[in-house]
Amino acid sequence: MLNRRTSALLLFLLLIAPSILHTQPALIKAKVEECNAALLEGNFEKLVEMTYPPLVELMGGGEAMIELVRGGIDMMKSSGFTIESAEVQEPARIVTTRRRTYAVVPYHLIMNSPVGKFRQESTMLGISTDKGKSWTFVDVHEDPEMLLSLLFSDEKKLNKRLLLKRRPGPVEISEE
Protein backbone atom coordinates (compact mmCIF):
# COMPACT_ATOMS: atom_id res chain seq x y z
CA MET A 1 0.00 0.00 0.00
CA LEU A 2 1.24 3.49 -0.84
CA ASN A 3 1.97 5.98 1.90
CA ARG A 4 0.45 9.47 1.86
CA ARG A 5 3.51 11.22 0.44
CA THR A 6 3.84 8.75 -2.43
CA SER A 7 0.10 8.95 -3.13
CA ALA A 8 0.23 12.77 -3.22
CA LEU A 9 3.22 12.71 -5.56
CA LEU A 10 1.50 10.24 -7.89
CA LEU A 11 -1.65 12.37 -7.88
CA PHE A 12 0.42 15.45 -8.78
CA LEU A 13 2.25 13.65 -11.59
CA LEU A 14 -0.90 12.15 -13.06
CA LEU A 15 -3.33 15.04 -12.73
CA ILE A 16 -1.59 18.35 -12.17
CA ALA A 17 1.81 18.14 -13.91
CA PRO A 18 0.37 17.48 -17.40
CA SER A 19 -1.79 20.60 -17.20
CA ILE A 20 1.23 22.70 -16.21
CA LEU A 21 3.25 21.29 -19.11
CA HIS A 22 0.43 21.96 -21.58
CA THR A 23 0.05 25.61 -20.54
CA GLN A 24 3.65 26.47 -21.51
CA PRO A 25 3.15 26.05 -25.30
CA ALA A 26 -0.14 27.97 -25.09
CA LEU A 27 1.57 30.78 -23.16
CA ILE A 28 4.40 30.97 -25.71
CA LYS A 29 1.94 31.00 -28.62
CA ALA A 30 -0.05 33.80 -26.95
CA LYS A 31 3.15 35.84 -26.46
CA VAL A 32 4.08 35.46 -30.15
CA GLU A 33 0.53 36.53 -31.07
CA GLU A 34 1.01 39.58 -28.83
CA CYS A 35 4.32 40.34 -30.54
CA ASN A 36 2.77 40.11 -34.01
CA ALA A 37 -0.21 42.22 -32.91
CA ALA A 38 2.20 44.94 -31.74
CA LEU A 39 3.76 44.98 -35.21
CA LEU A 40 0.40 45.02 -37.03
CA GLU A 41 -0.98 47.79 -34.78
CA GLY A 42 2.17 49.91 -35.01
CA ASN A 43 2.87 49.57 -31.28
CA PHE A 44 6.63 49.54 -31.82
CA GLU A 45 7.42 50.30 -28.16
CA LYS A 46 5.68 47.03 -27.21
CA LEU A 47 7.57 45.26 -29.99
CA VAL A 48 10.90 46.49 -28.56
CA GLU A 49 9.83 45.39 -25.08
CA MET A 50 9.12 41.86 -26.37
CA THR A 51 12.33 41.58 -28.41
CA TYR A 52 15.37 39.73 -27.04
CA PRO A 53 17.42 42.55 -25.37
CA PRO A 54 20.80 41.68 -26.96
CA LEU A 55 19.16 42.04 -30.40
CA VAL A 56 17.74 45.44 -29.42
CA GLU A 57 21.29 46.45 -28.36
CA LEU A 58 22.74 45.20 -31.67
CA MET A 59 20.20 47.39 -33.48
CA GLY A 60 21.42 50.47 -31.60
CA GLY A 61 18.85 50.49 -28.79
CA GLY A 62 15.08 50.77 -28.56
CA GLU A 63 14.68 54.08 -30.40
CA ALA A 64 16.91 52.95 -33.27
CA MET A 65 14.96 49.69 -33.55
CA ILE A 66 11.66 51.60 -33.64
CA GLU A 67 12.94 53.84 -36.42
CA LEU A 68 14.22 50.85 -38.39
CA VAL A 69 10.93 48.95 -38.08
CA ARG A 70 8.85 52.06 -38.80
CA GLY A 71 11.01 52.77 -41.88
CA GLY A 72 10.54 49.22 -43.13
CA ILE A 73 6.77 49.38 -42.67
CA ASP A 74 6.62 52.79 -44.39
CA MET A 75 8.67 51.48 -47.32
CA MET A 76 6.35 48.46 -47.65
CA LYS A 77 3.26 50.70 -47.59
CA SER A 78 4.69 53.14 -50.15
CA SER A 79 5.29 50.15 -52.46
CA GLY A 80 1.68 49.02 -52.03
CA PHE A 81 2.31 46.18 -49.58
CA THR A 82 0.31 45.70 -46.38
CA ILE A 83 0.26 42.94 -43.78
CA GLU A 84 -3.31 41.70 -43.49
CA SER A 85 -2.92 39.13 -40.73
CA ALA A 86 -0.60 36.84 -38.80
CA GLU A 87 -1.42 33.27 -37.79
CA VAL A 88 0.70 31.67 -35.09
CA GLN A 89 1.05 27.93 -34.59
CA GLU A 90 1.90 26.01 -31.43
CA PRO A 91 5.65 25.80 -30.70
CA ALA A 92 7.27 23.15 -32.89
CA ARG A 93 10.05 22.58 -30.36
CA ILE A 94 11.00 23.71 -26.88
CA VAL A 95 14.68 23.19 -26.15
CA THR A 96 16.37 23.77 -22.80
CA THR A 97 20.12 24.23 -22.48
CA ARG A 98 22.19 25.07 -19.42
CA ARG A 99 21.82 28.80 -20.14
CA ARG A 100 18.40 29.30 -21.71
CA THR A 101 15.13 27.79 -22.85
CA TYR A 102 14.22 28.26 -26.52
CA ALA A 103 10.89 27.88 -28.28
CA VAL A 104 10.65 27.52 -32.06
CA VAL A 105 7.28 28.99 -33.07
CA PRO A 106 6.16 28.84 -36.73
CA TYR A 107 3.80 31.49 -38.02
CA HIS A 108 2.74 33.01 -41.30
CA LEU A 109 1.79 36.44 -42.52
CA ILE A 110 -0.83 37.18 -45.15
CA MET A 111 0.26 40.19 -47.18
CA ASN A 112 -1.49 42.23 -49.85
CA SER A 113 0.48 43.69 -52.73
CA PRO A 114 -0.26 45.49 -55.98
CA VAL A 115 0.08 42.15 -57.81
CA GLY A 116 -1.85 39.88 -55.45
CA LYS A 117 -2.03 38.28 -52.05
CA PHE A 118 0.90 36.38 -50.57
CA ARG A 119 1.59 34.04 -47.67
CA GLN A 120 4.98 34.38 -45.96
CA GLU A 121 6.07 31.49 -43.73
CA SER A 122 8.31 32.49 -40.85
CA THR A 123 9.58 31.44 -37.44
CA MET A 124 9.77 33.28 -34.17
CA LEU A 125 12.41 32.12 -31.71
CA GLY A 126 11.38 32.54 -28.09
CA ILE A 127 14.12 32.92 -25.50
CA SER A 128 13.72 32.53 -21.75
CA THR A 129 16.57 33.02 -19.31
CA ASP A 130 14.41 32.16 -16.28
CA LYS A 131 13.23 28.64 -17.13
CA GLY A 132 10.12 29.76 -19.02
CA LYS A 133 8.73 32.33 -16.59
CA SER A 134 9.22 35.15 -19.08
CA TRP A 135 9.91 35.23 -22.82
CA THR A 136 11.42 37.57 -25.38
CA PHE A 137 11.57 36.93 -29.11
CA VAL A 138 13.63 37.11 -32.28
CA ASP A 139 12.14 36.79 -35.76
CA VAL A 140 14.21 34.27 -37.73
CA HIS A 141 14.92 35.46 -41.26
CA GLU A 142 17.14 34.31 -44.10
CA ASP A 143 20.19 33.09 -42.18
CA PRO A 144 19.41 31.32 -38.90
CA GLU A 145 23.02 30.15 -38.42
CA MET A 146 24.31 33.73 -38.56
CA LEU A 147 21.56 34.93 -36.22
CA LEU A 148 22.36 32.22 -33.68
CA SER A 149 26.11 32.86 -33.85
CA LEU A 150 25.55 36.61 -33.32
CA LEU A 151 23.14 36.30 -30.41
CA PHE A 152 24.10 33.00 -28.81
CA SER A 153 27.83 32.52 -29.45
CA ASP A 154 28.06 30.84 -26.04
CA GLU A 155 25.82 27.97 -27.25
CA LYS A 156 27.79 25.98 -29.83
CA LYS A 157 25.85 23.89 -32.37
CA LEU A 158 22.55 25.25 -31.06
CA ASN A 159 20.80 24.85 -34.40
CA LYS A 160 21.38 21.09 -34.31
CA ARG A 161 18.76 21.13 -31.55
CA LEU A 162 16.55 24.00 -32.74
CA LEU A 163 16.46 22.89 -36.40
CA LEU A 164 15.83 26.41 -37.70
CA LYS A 165 15.67 26.75 -41.49
CA ARG A 166 16.05 29.63 -43.89
CA ARG A 167 12.78 31.44 -44.41
CA PRO A 168 11.31 30.60 -47.83
CA GLY A 169 10.10 33.32 -50.14
CA PRO A 170 6.47 34.41 -50.16
CA VAL A 171 3.95 32.25 -52.02
CA GLU A 172 1.08 33.78 -53.96
CA ILE A 173 -2.33 32.66 -52.76
CA SER A 174 -5.58 32.83 -54.66
CA GLU A 175 -8.49 34.75 -53.24
CA GLU A 176 -11.53 32.55 -52.88
- The pTM assigned to this predicted structure is 0.84
Distance CA 154, CA 50 (A): 22
Contacts of 62 (CB under 8 A, 6+ apart): 45, 48, 56
> Tens of pLDDT along the chain (176 residues)?
556 766 555 545 555 444 344 458 999 999 999 999 999 999 999 999 999 999 999 999 999 999 999 999 999 999 999 999 999 999 999 999 999 999 999 999 999 999 999 999 999 999 999 989 999 999 998 789 999 999 999 998 999 999 999 888 889 997 65
Sketch the domain layout of the chain as residue ranges.
4-173
At the topology level, CATH places domain 4-173 in Nuclear Transport Factor 2; Chain: A, (3.10.450)
Contacts of 119 (CB under 8 A, 6+ apart): 108, 109, 110, 111, 170, 171, 173
